[in-house]
A and B are shown apart, each in its own frame.
Chain A
Amino acid sequence: MISPEYDKRLDHDSDGIEIYDNPLPGWWSSLFWISIVFSVGYFAYYHIGVGATVEENYDTSVALFLEAQFSDLIGIEPTDQLIIDLYQGEYADKISALRGTFESKCGQCHRADGGGNIGPNLTDGYYKNVKSPVDLYRTISDGVVAKGMPAWKNQMREIQVILMAAYVASIRDSNPSSPKLPEGLEIPAWDTFIVPVEEAEESADEGDANTDDPSDDEQP
């Protein structure tokens, strides 16, 4: 029931507009007080207490991502052998999945299919700055600034650059829709860079040793 206090009018009107002296709705006052108390607690927790900052949360998400995606690749050294192994071996699916990333980051100059536009054709076996597979990694990482190729080490993590090098290696001899004319030198097929088995074992040992080297820094 409405209390007798309800819908009492003030004894004064303004240009004919009357106004009731009704109380504040209870739920309204309660929610207002709750929002104030919550705000005090929230501020205290995040800015006086232990709440994580935005940057800390970001670092955590980067670490989790690297762990989930690249835990078995942490510390690898880019070599001719590795680049070839990556796209030919067990990581082949992961490498071919980089097509979208290639399209958005590289496709703007090299075309989505690598056929070349502002940048050279990456599929024809002719390269301007690459003599062996690992040069793909170096070129992407450091760029060829004088010739317009950006240094992607500022934009991608090292492991992502290595994987992208393997992707670029993998699109050699594909058939782009409108290929740009060859530029640079013709480089022997990637398979010719595969190291004979005995040597490979030796370098693999070195590779293991390298992963303990503190100067390697794939982790965030």
Chain B
Amino acid sequence: MSSPATDARVGTDAPEKDPQITGVMETYSYDDDIVRKFVLATVVWGIIGMLVGVIIALELVLPSLNINMDWMFQPWLNFGRLRPLHTNVVIFAFAGNAIFAAVYYSTQRLCKARMYSDALGKFHFWGWQCIIVAAVFTLPFGITQSKEYAELEWPIDLAIAVVWLVFAFNFFGTLARRRERHLYVALWFYIATIIAITILHVFNNLVIPLNLTKSYPIYAGVQDAFVQWWYGHNMIAFFLTMPFLGMMYYFLPKAANRPVYSYRLAIVHFWSLVFIYIWAGPHHLHYTALPAWASTLGMLFSLMLWMPSWGGMINGLLTLRGAWSKVAEDPILKFFVVGVTFYGMATFEGPMLSIKSVNALSHYTDWTIAHVHAGALGWVGFMTFGMIYWLLPRLFQTELWSKKLMGTHFWLGTIGILLYIIPIYAAGITQGLMWRAFTEDGNLAYQFIETVTRIMPFYWVRVFGGSLFLVGTIMLLVNLIMTWKARPKKYEVPVHQAPALSHDYVDAPIDGSRIKNVPPFAHTIDIFNQLQWHRRWERLWVKISVFTFLAIAIASLLEIVPTFIIKSNVATIETVTPYTPLELAGRDIYVSEGCYNCHSQMIRPIFAETEMYGEYSKGGEFVYDHPFQWGSRRIGPDLHRVGNTRTASWHFSHFVDPRILSPGSIMPSYVHFVEHDFDFDSIASKLVAMQRLGVPYSDNEVQGAAENARAQARAIMAKVIEEQGADAYPKVWETKDIIAITAYLLRLGTDIYKQPEVAIEAEATEAPLMLDETIMEEVEHVND
């Protein structure tokens, strides 16, 4: 054991003790009431979010649970609508409230100051809970932007922005009024969180509203996908990682009563995370129509993230040196150890999955889901649980009700995580390998449906594992309530004393380099390496904030600007034209039902994939797609070329009962499509919004939108009748939702096979070329 250092190289706080430059002595107390609120919200929303998770996991094995409510013909409980609710509640409500609890508790103590404003804190708390309630009352009703973890519609997005800025103001206000000159590591992570989330949220939610419950993003296709995954990955970075690292740096050494392992490592891994994370998003779009250079940057920056992430893990685990005997006894430390271990595992796996050839196997499979849950249940979940158990006796000023129940929660949670992730890893790898398997005769070895039925046993185990994790969280709620019941009549509010920060503070001079006989630049490097300059920065919250902002903003611009302005990134295809009014409205139904939660619309240039689905997708095919619908997983097959292989009557039959045509299918029935009247008259306003986004609809097309849609609907129905006879399907379906979504699906992926108008005569007489050549020529032609 060492004694407190007197090493002059670091820590130059001594002048603060000089009475001449010390501020006046002040008294203050901490606002723990707000922390109690956020802790309770964390647990309650956690249980709701996990319960929804268990429900959707059950829906995958028992598709009949996707109940169609007769009232208003609404499928509120369909997988496609509930899955966004699950992700939004666990991310924004469970993890979000946990972050706020950690920030409000630790910031006050690290700053020796009460939060800037109790009232702003209350506004923040209630505002945030209202936002989550708004999510609960919009997502199941099909009100969604369809961008993963950014599904909430624009009025809620505005509310998020306001509440977040209030939080930011309250936080930075506290920093400004602090009585502790040094900003501890945890605070750096909170600063990065607040700044990054503000930027991400704003730029991924730029939309043109159609009405209160519907909007279209200003980006289309490739660009929309790029911005979405720039956001999506950095939500994981700056919402589910950085603040939890901050949480770790405060609560883990507190609980272990041990010094943090390395100051230097904390500095290096913090800044490298800030600089590198923001670039990594495009690894979600490998092999897609995203420009190759962007995809490569996504992969390489992810590889470079491996060590910075592990810097956090090392600092967490090595802080426990000398405390391992305590870990064996204390469930709180056990939660932290398992949490940090899962962090290390997930941040090794993340870079691995970002390697293109690994991603070729893993993308669209459940492997991603297993990876995410290792991070979400293991890291975010267990860090949160550890923190809450540590806080409960302190917040309610009494003993924890049951240490035994806490221990049971730990084991139930751990087993739950393993029973969740192991089968889902197996399911993901099974899917990936089956999708790419060929027979000796050169045929695909499996039909898609076989890859679904094969993994059903794994899905059952997942339901069990997830339920255990949920039961563990319910135990936490019981412990919380019982501890709260034993609280004192009146909470004790200790009063502390500390001098205000003096304005006349002067930094001690930085030591010079101590190495001799080297050129001057070596001295500069040596001084830089001594990090005393960083010690100075730690007293300057504005400086840290500005540099964090610059790192994030500059990296973002370096990726985003070329993606948007270099035309050759998205080669135009002449025959790709805007959707017809009926197809456009049908697309809105597709978005609203959350089809993207199970179906991709992006065929990768991978041989097995083009054999199964057809020609790979080109960026130019998506230029009118506001928003993009590429999806991120294939619970069902890819749909990008479905317009070439299915007929209207097939869709009619399949929507009503998918299992008639695909025995073993786990898709919900969409029988409400034939019940719900389709609204032809509102289409014109959709075209107007599209016009504003630059989609070339003429004013005549806008005016004739409803009539055009009715005509197309009649034409589709007429064809069905011609194919199947007059009594196969009710004619009235041409006025129901089913006609619009069918029109959209019939259009999907067909444009590239059309002949350019000018060239029709010249090419009509020639023998048809092989497909690959046709497309490549077209693209080249356009590039010329």
B265 near A9 with CB under 8 A, answer: no
A147 to B648, CA, bound (A): 10
A75 to B260, CA, bound (A): 72
Q: Residue A103 at the B interface, CB < 8 A?
A: yes
A148 near B442 with CB under 8 A, answer: no
Known A47-B293, A150-B644: A18·B260 in contact at CB below 8 Å: yes
Q: Residue A184 at the B interface, CB < 8 A?
A: no
A109 near B647 with CB under 8 A, answer: yes
A24: which B residues are within 8 A, CB to CB?
Answer: 262, 264-265, 268
Q: Which of B422-453 contact A (CB under 8 A)?
A: 439, 441-449
Interface string of B1-19 (1 = CB under 8 A from A): 1111111011101000000
Known A12-B182, A14-B110: A108·B300 in contact at CB below 8 Å: no
Q: Residue B464 at the A interface, CB < 8 A?
A: no
Choose the segment among B308-316, B675-683, B732-740 that binds chain A (4+ C-beta atoms closer than 8 Å): B308-316
A24 to B418, CA, bound (A): 32
A93: nearest chain-B partner, CB-CB = B441
Interface string of B193-230 (1 = CB under 8 A from A): 00000000000000000000000000000000000000
B724: which A residues are within 8 A, CB to CB?
Answer: 118
Pick the residue among A15, A28, A42 that contacts B307 (CB under 8 A).
A28
Known A14-B180, A151-B644, A158-B770: A53·B292 in contact at CB below 8 Å: yes
B609: nearest chain-A partner, CB-CB = A58
Q: Smallest distance from the beta carbon of B579 to chain A beta carbons, Å? A: 19
A98 to B2, CA, bound (A): 74
A54 to B360, CA, bound (A): 11
A97 near B184 with CB under 8 A, answer: no
B454: which A residues are within 8 A, CB to CB?
Answer: none
B296 near A19 with CB under 8 A, answer: no
Pick the residue among A46, A103, A155 that contacts B614 (CB under 8 A).
A155
Pick the residue among A105, A118, A157 that contacts B770 (CB under 8 A).
A157
Known A53-B292, A101-B444: A32·B272 in contact at CB below 8 Å: yes
Q: Smallest distance from the beta carbon of A138 to chain B beta carbons, Å? A: 12
A10 near B264 with CB under 8 A, answer: no
Choose the segment among A61-69, A81-89, A169-177, A193-201 that binds chain B (4+ C-beta atoms closer than 8 Å): A61-69
B287: which A residues are within 8 A, CB to CB?
Answer: 54
B254 near A10 with CB under 8 A, answer: no
A143: nearest chain-B partner, CB-CB = B644
Q: Residue B126 at the A interface, CB < 8 A?
A: no
A104 near B259 with CB under 8 A, answer: no
A104 near B447 with CB under 8 A, answer: yes
A58 near B650 with CB under 8 A, answer: no
A15 near B109 with CB under 8 A, answer: yes
A46 to B262, CA, bound (A): 38
Q: Smallest distance from the beta carbon of A155 to chain B beta carbons, Å? A: 4
A94 to B442, CA, bound (A): 9
B445 near A65 with CB under 8 A, answer: no
A-B CB proximity, top 3 nearest: A14-B184, A69-B442, A18-B259
23 pairs, A vs B, C-beta closer than 8 Å: A10-B5, A10-B10, A11-B13, A12-B11, A14-B110, A14-B184, A15-B112, A17-B259, A21-B5, A24-B268, A32-B308, A35-B303, A38-B303, A43-B300, A47-B292, A54-B356, A94-B441, A108-B661, A109-B647, A148-B647, A148-B723, A155-B644, A155-B645
Q: Given A9-B4, A69-B441, A100-B447, 6 more contacts at CB 8 Å?
A: A21-B263, A21-B264, A35-B304, A100-B443, A100-B446, A220-B773
